[in-house]
Amino acid sequence: MLNFLGKRAVASGISLVGLILLVFFLSRLTGDPTGLYLPLDASEESRNQFRAIHGLDKPLFVQFLNYMGDLIRLDFGESIRRSEPAIDVVLRGFAWTLQLALITMSLVVVLAITLGSLAAYHVGGVFDRIATFFSLVGASAPDFWVAIVAIVVFSVTLGWVPTSGTGTVWHWILPISVLFIRPFGLILQIVRGSMINALGSAYVKTARAKGIKNRPIIFVHALRNALLPVITVIGDQAAALLNGAVVVETIFGFPGVGKLMIDSILQRDFTVVLAAIMVTAMAIFLMNILIDILYSILDPRIRY
């Protein structure tokens, strides 16, 4: 296992360097940020001064070498837009995104697996039909529409929860609910399909023949075997959330890393874009390693 972890770490490191290289040069292709930050009427002297302060006056390759040199010392550079260390800006946003993703995915995993398994057990029944209907609606509902309707209904009309923002437990309810809907629908469908196959397999029939009760058959024997494809999809969905739920963060005023990344791209705040990509990439690398470990736990045939 240690050997495997070492190999994954090296592969992740190489990918990260490739990512930095790609993002560094691609982001520079968007153009010079000077015009965005200085007033329209700024003199050419001011513009040159601005470029010099932010190291934008040097050839691109020299800028890259300087950036990598700073990065080795864990200096991610300063945000042009906010005049503070880029890594501080990103970690502040990432902390919000991580909390949002962890809570949402925990709820999704528990509820989708439970309800998906029960739907598969009662396949074709009323519960299955209701679960399938709502999961399909959830998987296909656009975030922005659900979010605005939720605000109008639950905040403005009923006054149950705040419209947006942070500060209390109640502020988390709408963003998490909106974020929950799509992965819940998708994962419930995957669990259901995978469980229908598992429940029809020979070892389940054998377990039933041995008189084992329904609950252990569903949640111990069949589920363990049905979980491999489910974990892959959970990983995908979690990665999407870690990248930032841009629509939800924008509408609910959550200061997460997704909105930060989009704003930084539009504002040509290169150091923040790079720091955000590195932090989210690291998180996704770690999550992939975790998923690989889970594979080996669930299926003893998988060994690293």
* Binding region for another protein (CB under 8 A): 30-31, 33, 35-43, 45-46, 49-50, 53, 81-84, 89, 92-93, 96, 148, 151-152, 155-156, 159, 161-171, 250-253, 255, 259, 266-268
Tell me whether residue 27 or residue 135 sits nearer to another protein (CB atom).
27
Q: Is 74 left (phi over 0), alpha (psi -120 to 50) or beta?
A: left
What would the DSSP string read from start to end of 76-114? Answer: --B-TTTSSBHHHHHHHHHHHHHHHHHHHHHHHHHHHHH
Shortest CB 277 distance to another protein, Å: 19
Tell me whether residue 13 or residue 165 sits nearer to another protein (CB atom).
165
Read off φ and ψ for residue 85, nearest 5 degrees: -55, 135
User: Cβ(210)–Cβ(167) under 8 Å?
Assistant: no
User: Cβ(188)–Cβ(135) under 8 Å?
Assistant: yes
Shortest CB 102 distance to another protein, Å: 19
Cα–Cα dist 268/297, whole Å: 44
Shortest CB 164 distance to another protein, Å: 5
Tell me whether residue 43 or residue 197 sits nearer to another protein (CB atom).
43
Computed over its alpha carbons, how large is the radius of gyration of the chain?
Answer: 24
Tell me whether residue 106 or residue 168 sits nearer to another protein (CB atom).
168
Shortest CB 196 distance to another protein, Å: 38
Shortest CB 51 distance to another protein, Å: 11
